[in-house]
Amino acid sequence: MRMLLPLALIICGAAHVSIAAAQDTAALTPSPPKSSAAVKEENGEYFDANGEPTYKIDPKGMVDWYTFSGFRRFNGTCEVCHGPDGSGSSFGPDLTDSLKSMSYSDFQRIVVNGKQDVNTAQTLVMPAFGDNKNVMCYLDDIYIYLRARADGAMGRGRPASHQDKPAAAIANENSCMGP
C-alpha cells in the first residue's frame, strides 16, 4: 500500500503535466507550409505565391472568413461522404490526406465533374456538383478550409473565432445564389 500512493502521485503529476502541455500546444497555431503561405490579400480573401486561394490563421487561432465559410459549407454538404472535418469515411477518402498532393485545378475539376474509380478492389464514385449552387458558389471556401486541414494549420471542429464576412463575400454570394 505504501508503494501505491507514491506511484499514484507520480501518475497524476505526469497526467497533469501532459494535459497542461497539450493545452499550451493547442493554443499555438502551426505555421503554414511555405507553399500555402498567404502572400496577397484581396477583399478579405488570401492567395499563395501561385495565386491560388489559401487560408490565414492568426497566432490565437482566428481564421479568415473564407476558411470559416468553407468549414460550414463542407460540413453542410461534403461531410456526408468524406466524414467529419474531411477525415474520410467508408464512402469517401480522407481529403486532409488527398489535398496534400492534389492541385487546386484537380480539386475543382473533380468537384465540378465528379470522379469514378471502379475496379475489382473498389468502387469509388463521387457525384458531379457542377450544378449545385450550394457547392459551386463556395468552391474556393471549401478548398481553403480543406487546405488548412491538410496542412495541419487547423484542427478538427468548428473554428473558435473568425474574421467578419467581407463585403466582397456578400456581393459574390448574392450574385451567385440569386436574390
CB-neighbour burial class of residue 145 (10 A; exposed 0-12, middle 13-18, buried 19+)? buried
Whole-number pLDDT of residue 105:
92
* Measured distance CA(61)–CA(78) in Å, rounded: 24
**22-32 pLDDT tens trace:** 334 344 445 55
44/61 Cα distance (integer angstroms):
16
Given a contact cutoff of 8 angstroms between Cβ atoms, the answer to whether 73 and 134 are in contact is: yes
As given in the structure block, the three cell numbers for residue 122 are: 473498389
Q: Do residues 107 and 140 touch, judged by C-beta distance below 8 A?
A: no
Instruction: Check residue 8 and give its pLDDT.
Output: 43
pLDDT at 122: 72
Residue 32 DSSP symbol = P
Q: What is the pLDDT of residue 62?
A: 92
pLDDT of residue 11: 43
Give the model's pLDDT for residue 104: 93
Nearest-10 Cα torsion for 61, 47, 70, 156: -40
pLDDT at residue 31, rounded to an integer:
52
Q: Are 74 and 157 in contact (CB under 8 A)?
A: no
CA nearest 85: which of 28, 146, 31? 146
Amino acid at 137: C
101: cell is 498532393
| Residue 123: predicted pLDDT | 73
pLDDT tens for 58-80 read 988 999 999 999 999 999 888 78
pLDDT at 97: 87
Residues of the chain with pLDDT under 50: 1-29
